[in-house]
A and B are shown apart, each in its own frame.
Chain A
Amino acid sequence: MTSKLTYVGAIGMTAIALIAASPAYAAGTTAGTTITNNVTVDYQVGGVAQGQQTASNSFVVDRKINLLVEEVGSVTTEVVPGQSNAVTTFQLTNTSNEVLDFALTASQIAGGTAAHGGTDSFDVSNVRIYRDNISSGTVGSFDAADTLVTYIDELATDTPIRLFVVADVPAGLSTGAVAGVQLRATAREGGASGTQGAAITQTAGANTAAKDTVFADVAGVNDANRDASHSAADDYTVKTATLTVTKTSRVVDDPFNGTTNPKLIPGATVEYCILVANAAGGASATSVAINDSVPTQLTYVAGSARVNGTVTAGTCNTDGVAAGTNYAAPVVSGTVATVAAGDTRTLLFRATVN
C-alpha cells in the first residue's frame, strides 16, 4: 500500500472529490479501496477572498482475513446406534473485507471432553460436509437439496452460511456414548469461481505497494490465532433404549383353598407376569414384542393374556388390555407400542398346573 501526498489547485479539486466510489461496508471497507482525504482552506487577505487551497492524502485499505465458524444450537445431537446421516450444524461467516473461498475440514476428536461436556468414546463413520441450500428444500435443515462440499466457493462478506457435518453412527453403542466432531474452515484466495483458490499467505515484513494481507482471525477449537482458519466443535450423544426383562409368577387359586392362601397343587392357577423395563435417561422403545413359552406342565388359560399393563411396587397390575395378545401353543405373545425411558410395561397371563 502506498501513502502519498497530492497537492492540487482549486480547479482540480472537484475531480478528486469523487475518487472513492462507495465501498461495501458489510465486513468493513473492501480491500483495495483508496481512502482519500481532502482538506480545503478559504480565506481573505485585506478583505478580498483568495483562491481556495486544497491538500489531499490517499492510502489504500489492505486485506483483513477473518472468519468465524460457529456451532448452531449449542446442544448435542442425539443419535441411536446404527443411525445413518446424523447431522451436526455449523455456521461459517466471512468477516474479511474481501470475497474469499474457504476450505473445509471435518475431523473427530480422540478421547477428551467433547463440545457439550461428555467424554468422547467412539468415532462416527462416513463423515461428510453439506452446505445448506437456501433456495429449495427445508432451509436451515439438512435435506436432499443440500450440496456435498469440500470447500465454499466465493463466499460474500458478512453473510453467514449453514453447514452440516453428516455422519453414520455405528451399531452396538449404549446410552451416553459421545463422539466429538470439529469443523475447520481455512480462507483461500477468491476471485476464480468454480475452483478452490490458492492458500493465502500473510504479507511478511515491510509494507508493499500492492494490497497487503493481514490475518485477523481468532483461535478456534483446533486452529491457532491469526492463521486464516477458524473452527468449532459439536458432538453426537447416543440415546438408546436399554431393556431388561423380568419374569415373575404367583399362585392365585387352587381347587381346595380357592384364593385364600392357595397352594401350587395340580389344578391350581398360576399368574405369570413378564416385566419389560426401559432404563431411565435413554430413548423410548417402540414395538416391543414379548414372547413366552408356556411350560408343558401347565395349560394356558384361554383369553387370560393382558398386555401393556403397569407395575406397582414390583407387583403386576391387571390393567393391561387383551388387544394385541396372541396364543399359538405353546407361545403367549403380546406387543407393547411404546415403553418410555424409565417406564415398565407388562405381559400378564394365567395357566393351570396339570
Chain B
Amino acid sequence: MRKALFLLIAALAPAQAFAANQVALDNNVFVERVTTDAAGKQRVLLEEPKVVVPGDRLVFVLNYRNAGAQPADKFVITNPMPSAVRFAGAGDTPPLVSVDGGKMWGQLADLTVPMADGTRRPAQPADVTHVRWAFQKPIPAGATGKLIFRGVVK
C-alpha cells in the first residue's frame, strides 16, 4: 500500500498545453480497529482492509503531490462515496460534501434533503454521496498533502 505511483495520461495529451505527470495521487483505505488493553486504555489501530465486514470503520487516505515544475491551480479533489460505504466525517481539512449526487456542494450542516412530503430535512452524514476538497490557493510545485475522511461499511 505504500507504493506512490504517478498517474500517467501522457498518451491522451493532445498538445503541450497539458503538462503530463503534473500531479501524483494516491488512494488508500484502512480499517480502524479500536482495542482496549488490560489497563482499560483504548488504542486505535489502522489496518489494511484484510478482513472487512459490515459495520467496520474505514479511513480513506488521499495523498497528493504536485510533481510538476509549475504550481497547480484550481486544485479540486473529488471522491464519490462508494455505494456500500456510509460517510462518517472527515479529518482536519473539512471537505465540501454533496448529498444529491454531486449537483450541489456545501458544508454538511448547510445542506438539506427533500422528504417525500415536499419538505426538506437537514442532511445527515449517511446522505453524503460525494466528498470534495477545492483548494483556494495554488499547490506549489513539489508540494504534498494528505486528506482523510471516514466511512462505515454498510
* Chain A residues near B (Cβ < 8 Å): 1, 3, 5, 7, 9-11, 17, 20, 22-23, 25, 27-29, 33, 35-51, 53-57, 59-64, 97, 203, 206-207, 212, 214, 216
Contacts and interface: CB of A to CB of B under 8 A. Distances in A.
Given A40-B78, A53-B23, A59 B52 contact: yes
Interface in B40-76: 48-55, 60, 62, 64, 68, 70-76
Given A5-B26, A61-B53, A61-B84, 5 more contacts: A9-B8, A40-B78, A53-B7, A61-B153, A206-B50
Given A10-B12, A29-B154, A44-B74, A39 B82 contact: no
Given A27-B54, A45-B68, A57-B27, A1 B49 contact: yes
Contacts of A55: 7, 25-27, 62
A41 B1 CA distance: 20
A41 B25 contact: yes
Contacts of A44: 72-74
Given A7-B5, A23-B83, A37-B82, A46 B70 contact: yes
B104 interface: no
Interface in B126-154: 139, 153-154
Given A28-B154, A29-B84, A64-B53, A43 B18 contact: no
A45 B52 contact: no
Given A3-B50, A9-B9, A28-B53, A39 B78 contact: yes
A97 B64 CA distance: 35
A45 B73 contact: yes
A17 B18 CA distance: 24
A39 B77 contact: yes
28 contacts: A1-B50, A3-B48, A5-B3, A17-B80, A20-B82, A20-B83, A20-B84, A28-B153, A35-B84, A36-B82, A38-B79, A39-B62, A41-B76, A42-B78, A43-B75, A45-B72, A50-B23, A53-B25, A55-B25, A55-B26, A57-B27, A57-B28, A61-B54, A62-B51, A63-B53, A97-B54, A203-B51, A216-B53
Contact of A39 (B51, B74, B79): B79
Nearest to B31: A59
B85 A35 contact: yes
Contacts of A48: 17-18
B80 A59 contact: no
Contact of A28 (B55, B71, B77): B55
Contacts of B23: 41, 43, 50, 53
Contacts of A45: 19, 22, 68, 70-73
B84 A33 contact: yes
A183 B55 CA distance: 28
B90 interface: no
B82 A7 contact: no
Contacts of A47: 73
Contacts of A97: 53-54
Contacts of A25: 84, 154
Contacts of B68: 45
B26 to A, nearest CB: 6
A1 B28 CA distance: 15
A50 B7 contact: no
A283 B60 CA distance: 65
Contact of A214 (B18, B53, B60, B75): B53
